[in-house]
Structures are given as structure tokens and as C-alpha cells.
Chains A and B, each alone.
Chain A
Amino acid sequence: MNKILRVDMTAQTVTEEAVGGQYAGLGGRGLTSKIVNAEVPPLCHPLGRENKLVMAPGLLSGTAAPCSGRLSVGGKSPLTGGIKEANAGGTAAQRLGRLGIAAIVVEGEPPKGTLWKLVVTKSGAELLPASEVKGANNYKLVEKLTKTYGDKVSYISIGSAGERLMSAASVAVTDLENRPTRHAGRGGLGAVMGSKGLKAIVLDDKGAAAVPVSDQEAFKQAVKKFSMALKEHAVTGKGLPTYGTNILTNIINEAGGFPTRNFSEGKFEDAAKVSGEMQREIILKRGGVATHPCSRGCVIQCSRIYMDKNKKYLTKGPEYETVWANGPNCGINDLDVIARLDRLYDDIGLDTIEMGATLAVLMESGYIAFGDGAGAIKIIREEVGKATPLGRVLGNGCAVTGQVFGVKRVPVVKRQALPAYDPRAIKGIGVTFATSPMGADHTAGYSITANILNVGGTVSPLKTEGQMELSRNLQIATAAIDSTGLCLFVAFAVLDIPEAFEAIYEMINAQYGLNLGPNDVTALGKTVLKAELEFNAQAGFTAKEDRLPMFFETEKLPPHNTVFDVSHEELDATLRF
């Protein structure tokens, strides 16, 4: 990967430049965050011409490295006002890797009212008018584009939410079945894409040469070592392939950390009805697919395909966070309702976590009742989907909705909704939620590993001791993994099996002819975080943004009846390294 595509929306030109200088040797989140920090004025309006939308495959994307198909999308977030990297699976990162593209940087601002698509092939890239797909949602959009470009390409797109500049809008990526089911969901990057007037990117890698690998033999060995570790570890080799990510519902519920009805309780009475075990049974009974890769070369295969009651395709298997946000967090106990919401979100182009948390806050206000699945579906389809004034409020996320409806319990950090773990019962994840430069984001430092899953050691979830170190180390390691293109789920194996960790830098070394060791991985993670923290500081973030909403410190959560009590000093020290 040796070139950066600069897409200037003001002049509608595309130029290529070689990757060099401060961007050399970077990929994925490392590259998006470095570019955003270096080139975007931190005080700019996220929807203005000065912001940039950056998309980067990881260092290993496009090669035979297992699970290396993650695409990082970055920019200044309209939701948080800080730096953002959201990543997605699907097929795009592998194609970008094969096309030799390290990043696409979308900049400037198009003439008002115009809409564009970027078509990238082996021989170049061009911007074309896309007014014929104006207002289309993701499924229809992909269907239309497929008529012209076929299904052997990748589509990166926004639905109507992105065009309407909603802060919960996602960037969709097509999967192996050419469906827009994989989203860079968090932080409203779909709205940034919408503000650039860019409706879709078509990636066609036909005829592209294989990604050059410096030492083929060493690469093969490292790939083998990595695959074996992923197959051997019980989580990546068995748990995730069998039950998918939603296997977590039961264990987080048993641990009393399963936020229920807008974070008012830690256990949901009907958890079994929405669990991964139940989801698997429904999928198998209806002829869906229960073990499935979201991108080429994934050996874990946590993805699935969900059919409706008539055994017709409805959506991908909703992920754990989606199930939680739109299920128990809203008092909803019906997987079919959750799957229909998931389909709507993918289609309109919305973050499933933000929207579930938003619905729960709306329910808390009494506008609709907790448990009202039909009401939730109607509101998303008729209000958010049609961008009515109410729909626009909701589509701008949990914080805005809480403010508009006068709700006090609004679970956000840096205005981004908390994912599916209550920090009062699982304190390590609370440290990550509070301190990650991304806002509340479980993937930024997944302390659930040692707090609940007994992976990578054990740190008691209810105590404060050890949580800061746990979160810090995970945040550093994650920033590095997010730069490789590897799916974060490899971390379950990497934390427990030393060979899996070795294999990561061995694959990078063999591909690029480098000589990296374990310390370089840590150093990379730190550099990435530092760039992100620097951007946020200049955007005006201070220590007070690194706090959970106060109700987590004052309202006790049943069944443990605990509060979040990691000290502010410890929170402030978490990312001081």
C-alpha cells in the first residue's frame, strides 16, 4: 500500500500521492488519526469544509492474514466534537489493500445540493455525479449501483441519515453477500460523508496484482501460527463461531452488569429470550446461517445471517451490543423486533448502539413505554427514516434526545452513548468509557476480558483496584491492533496465547521487510493515542470530559447495589504515559 487518494470535493478532483513522511508505515486507525490530527483544524465544524473524512485499510489488509479485513474511518466527530475512528468489517479494506491504497482522504465541500460517487479501479479513480441515488437508503442504493458495477466490488455508502447530516449516521460497507450490513457506526461519520456530498464509494479491484509480500515463506509461517492460535483458543475457536457475539448476553446479565431499561437495573428478567443461544436456535430453525465470515479470510466467523418468520432474509445476525441497546435496554425481549430495528438502522445508515440508547432515553421520558417494540420500529421507520423534526432529534443521538425531552439519566460520555456494560458493576470498562478519546466505546479498551471473561488475567469487576492499569494497557494494545486491519476479536487469543501476539508482528515484518518486536507494537499504540489526545485537547477537551455522567457515581445499581467509584485522579492518570 503506497498511495493516498486525495478527493477534493470542492473541485471534484482526485489526486494520488505517495505515502511518506509522517504517514509512512502506518495503517488503519494509526493512519486515520495521524492524518486527522495533522490536517484537520481541531476547532472546525465537523460538517464544514475544513473537516476531512479518512478511510484506511489496516497494514495487513489485502493479504492472506486471517481476519485482516477491518476498515478504519476517521474524522472530527459531529457527535463528540473530538477525533473519531470507527471501524467496520466487510469487504472494502481487503479491496483497498489490493488496490495499493493506504488511505482515501475526502476533503473540501461540493457545490450546494450536489451528490457524488467515487469510483476506484486499478487504473484510477474518478468522481461522478450521483443525483440518481439521492435520498436512497443503503439496501436500495447498493441494489442500484450493483446494476452498473456488479457484485464483485465493494460499496462504502451512506443512507438517508448521512445525507441529512444526523450525528448518529454510520458509514456502511458491503459484506461478502454484497449487502450493506457492516458499519463504521460510532460517532456520526456518516454525517461527515454526507457533508462532503459523497453518497458512495465503489471499489473495484479487478486485475489488481496481489499485495506484495517481502518474505513469502516467513509470512506463510506467521499466518499459520496465527490461524492455529485463533482456532485453538476457546473463545475465537468455539464460542464466537457457535453463538456469535451475542453469546455475551447471558454472562453479562449473570454478572449483574447488563444495563436494563436505560441503565436502571443490572439484570434483565428475559435475558434468555434474547440470548445468543436463542438467536442461534432461531437462525437454524429458519434456515439462516449461524457461522459466517463478514469478510474474506476470517477464520473466527462470528457473523450470521438472520431470517424472518417466513424464512426470508431479514438482516445480519444482530450483534450483542445491538441486541442489548434495542432489547433489554429498552425493556424489549423479542429478537425479531431487534432484528427489524437492526435492518432499519443498516438501511437508513445509523449506529445501532446510539439509536438503542436514544430509544431508551425516549422511553424514560414517557413518550413511548419501555417494552413497546412496535412503537420503537414505527418511530425509527416513520420519524427518523423520514427525518421529521422528532426523527431529526432522535437521529442526533442520546445526548440531544435527553436534552430535548428533559431526561436526567442520559448515559453518554463525550456525548456518545455507553455500550452494553454497566460501569457500576464492571468498573474496568467504566475507566475505558470515561477516558477513551473516542467517547464511551467498549472496543477502545475492552476490560470485559479480565473483568468478566477471565481472558488475559482476572481483575475483579466490582473492585476499583487494577482497573486503571487494565484499561490503559488494553487501550494501548487496541490502538495498535486497530492499525493492523485485524479484527479486534483476535485479541481474545492474543491476550492468552503468546504465539498469537508474536505472529502479528511477524506477519507485518514479513510483509514489509521490517524488524519489529513487541515493544514496537506498544510504542505504535501509544503514538496513535497521543495523536488522538492531542487533537481532543486542542478541540477544547479537558479532564471534565473524561468523566462518566454523575448518576453512575450516585445511583446504586441493583443487584450489586454499587456505584462507579474509580477516583477522578485515577481516571486522569489512565492515559498519562
Chain B
Amino acid sequence: MTSTVTVFVKLYATLTKYAGVIIMEEPMQVDVPEGSTLSDLYTRLRIPDDEVKTAFVNSAMQPPEYELRDGDHVGIFPPVGGGAC
């Protein structure tokens, strides 16, 4: 039996549709097998790879190969940009 890790995920902007909501105010709890990467998490949430531009784990930007750890807070973004000019 493989053990699992629990992560807390927030999807943003156009990606919220993969959680079936318009805005995610609270993170969703997701259990993944130990050893899962961010990329595995995208697959699990059915988010096509090319829709993810940037992901933060505990406020630090991480690549798709990042291996998830128990209690990680993950924020996933499509391409975004703005500011005021």
C-alpha cells in the first residue's frame, strides 16, 4: 500500500473551471500518492499542461517536476499579466 500526501490547492483565473467553480476563495484538499509531482497533480485535476504557466508551492515558484510534500500549499496559474500603466 502506497502512502499518500495531502496538499492544498488553489486554481486561479481561467483554471478555476477545472474545479467547477468561478472563484476559489478557499483551497481544496487533494490527496496524492507519495512521490507525485506538480505535473501529476495537473493530470489528476485534468488541467492540460499547456494551460499552466506558473505554479507556486508555499509561495515559491516551482517547475512541473517538483515533488509534492505533505501540507504543501499550491497555487496554479494560467498566463497572466497586468499592472497599471
Contacts and interface: CB of A to CB of B under 8 A. Distances in A.
Interface of A: 87, 233-236, 238-240, 242-248, 250-251, 254-256, 266-267, 272-273, 275-278, 281, 302, 319-322, 353, 419-420, 442-443, 446, 448-449, 452-455, 460-462, 487-489, 492, 559-560
30 contacts: A235-B79, A236-B81, A238-B79, A243-B13, A247-B80, A247-B82, A248-B83, A250-B77, A251-B75, A254-B75, A254-B77, A256-B60, A267-B59, A272-B25, A273-B25, A276-B13, A277-B12, A281-B22, A281-B23, A446-B83, A448-B83, A453-B53, A453-B80, A453-B81, A461-B61, A462-B60, A487-B85, A488-B85, A489-B81, A489-B83
Nearest to B22: A281
Given A250-B13, A277-B13, A278-B23, A489 B85 contact: yes
A244 B85 contact: no
Q: Which 6 A-B pairs have the closest CB atoms?
A: A245-B82, A319-B84, A234-B79, A235-B81, A256-B59, A254-B75
B80 A321 contact: no
B14 interface: yes
Contacts of B12: 250-251, 254, 277
A306 to B, nearest CB: 14
Interface of B: 10, 12-14, 16, 22-25, 53-54, 56, 58-61, 75, 77-85
B61 A255 contact: yes
Contact of A275 (B23, B54, B83): B23
B83 to A, nearest CB: 6
A238 B15 CA distance: 13
A242 B22 CA distance: 13
B59 A560 contact: yes
B84 A247 contact: no
Nearest to A453: B81
B61 A320 contact: no
Contact of A454 (B13, B53, B85): B53
B81 A277 contact: no
Contacts of B10: 254
B81 A240 contact: yes
B11 to A, nearest CB: 10
A242 B75 CA distance: 20
Main secondary structure of the interface of A (DSSP, over half): helix
Contacts of B77: 250-251, 254
Contacts of A238: 14, 78-79
Contacts of A462: 60
A192 B67 CA distance: 56
Contacts of B22: 277, 281
Given A267-B59, A319-B84, 9 more contacts: A235-B81, A255-B59, A276-B13, A277-B12, A453-B79, A453-B80, A460-B61, A487-B85, A489-B85
A452 B54 contact: yes
Nearest to B77: A251
A249 to B, nearest CB: 9
A404 to B, nearest CB: 27
A251 B61 contact: no
Given A278-B23, A454-B54, A460-B61, A240 B79 contact: no
A388 B16 CA distance: 47
Contacts of A244: 82
A416 B54 CA distance: 31
A238 B22 CA distance: 16
A181 to B, nearest CB: 12
A313 to B, nearest CB: 20
B59 A239 contact: no
A94 B58 CA distance: 46
A251 B59 contact: no
Contacts of A233: 79
Nearest to A492: B81
B48 to A, nearest CB: 13
Contacts of A443: 83-85
A299 to B, nearest CB: 15
B1 to A, nearest CB: 34
Contact of B84 (A236, A239, A278, A321): A321
A10 to B, nearest CB: 34
B52 to A, nearest CB: 11
Contacts of B14: 238, 242
Q: Which of B16, B61, B81 has the most CB of A within 10 A?
A: B81
Contacts of A489: 81-83, 85
Contacts of A559: 58-59
Given A275-B23, A452-B54, A246 B82 contact: yes
Contacts of B84: 245, 319-322, 353, 419, 443
Nearest to A278: B23
Contacts of B54: 251, 452-454
